[in-house]
């Protein structure tokens, strides 16, 4: 059995020492992100987070595993979703977890020396194994939460980018302009279709100029989505005019067997607006 209230109290009493020693040992010239910050508030928060970690971690020596991780979960999520830690390379964070693990092994060794003869070799070995195993589980849960939140944040940012990259600009006489700029993958092409149709309906547009001069690459799926957009607009009574198709895009489209015969196409946007 690894639980030992005396070891727990010893580590808890040393919690702030652990924090100060850990922070003092940071090599700010060789680390990055939150650990290299000179902002007093960031430093204060980082130390508090580290201290809170110790308050939770040492409970492994008095609690059952399920209860231990239940109380630890909130701290793990807090760090995994913290902006400063999200802006810190994950390998740097994992390195600091290992540094703190070494601190604990050293403190347990000191505890044993302070109580010479009171504990067996098997007891001390069990403490060390439990400690290393616990650190492994905490790190794994941290990485899982960090990845989950990072993916949600990335998805949210991507949705904002898609939203901003599909603006239908209302012009006079119920006309509108959709400038398509940058890389267009299948996902963005589908987003363009959905948003363009809804925006044309909302803004009362009956003639949409789709300018593709800012699009460099078109693959089969993207080309099909663009033509689906034209057909969908036709169904809700919106005429479409394509402009600015770059020569390399036109060549690619021809090689893909896409037929331009039934589409209203002009060389550039100025020409399209004059027609």
pLDDT in tens for each of the 275 residues of the chain? 678 999 999 999 999 999 999 999 998 887 889 999 999 999 999 999 999 999 999 999 999 988 898 889 999 999 998 989 988 999 999 999 999 999 999 999 999 999 999 999 999 999 999 999 999 999 999 999 988 888 887 776 666 555 555 578 888 888 888 888 777 777 777 778 888 888 888 889 999 988 888 776 666 667 777 778 888 888 999 998 888 777 766 676 677 666 666 677 777 777 767 65
Tokens 């489209």 identify what position?
Answer: 253
Asked whether the beta carbons of 223 and 190 are under 8 A apart, the reply is no
Q: Are residues 153 and 186 in the same domain?
A: no
Q: How many domains does the chain have?
A: 2
Q: What is the pTM of this model?
A: 0.62
Residue 80, domain member (yes or no): yes
Residue 85, domain member (yes or no): yes
Last-in-domain residue among 159, 183, 214 = 159
Q: Are residues 126 and 179 in the same domain?
A: no
Q: Are residues 153 and 39 in the same domain?
A: yes
E strand segments, the chain:
169-170, 175-181, 207-214, 239-243, 265-266
CATH number of the domain at 136, please: 1.10.490.10
Residue 133, domain member (yes or no): yes
Residue 104, domain member (yes or no): yes
Residue span of the structural domain in which 268 resides? 169-274
Residue 44, domain member (yes or no): yes
Q: Which phi and psi (to 5°) does residue 169 adopt?
A: -95, 120
């Amino acid at each position: 059995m690894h639980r030992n209230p005396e070891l727990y109290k010893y580590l808890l009493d040393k919690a702030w020492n652990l924090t100060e020693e850990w922070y003092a040992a940071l090599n700010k010239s060789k680390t990055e992100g939150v650990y290299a910050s000179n902002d007093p508030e960031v430093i204060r928060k980082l130390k508090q987070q580290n201290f809170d970690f110790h308050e939770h971690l040492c409970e492994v020596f008095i609690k059952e595993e399920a209860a231990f991780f239940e109380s630890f979960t909130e701290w793990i999520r807090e760090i995994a979703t913290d902006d400063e830690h999200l802006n810190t390379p994950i390998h740097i964070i994992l390195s600091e977890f290992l540094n703190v693990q070494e601190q604990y092994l050293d403190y347990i060794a000191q505890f044993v020396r302070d109580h010479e003869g009171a504990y067996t070799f098997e007891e001390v070995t069990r403490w060390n194994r439990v400690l290393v195993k616990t650190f492994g589980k905490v790190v794994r849960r941290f990485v899982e939460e960090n990845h989950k939140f990072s993916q949600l944040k990335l998805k949210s940012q991507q949705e904002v980018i898609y939203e901003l990259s599909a603006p239908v600009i209302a012009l006079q006489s119920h006309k509108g302009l959709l400038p398509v700029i940058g890389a267009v993958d299948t996902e963005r092409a589908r987003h363009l279709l959905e948003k363009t149709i809804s925006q044309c309906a909302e803004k009362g547009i009956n003639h949409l100029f789709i300018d593709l001069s800012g699009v460099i690459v078109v693959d089969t799926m993207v080309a099909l989505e663009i033509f689906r957009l034209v057909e969908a607009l036709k169904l809700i009574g919106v005429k479409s005019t394509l402009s600015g198709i770059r020569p390399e895009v036109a060549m690619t489209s021809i090689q893909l067997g896409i037929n331009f015969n039934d589409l209203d196409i002009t060389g550039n946007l100025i020409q399209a607006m004059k027609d």
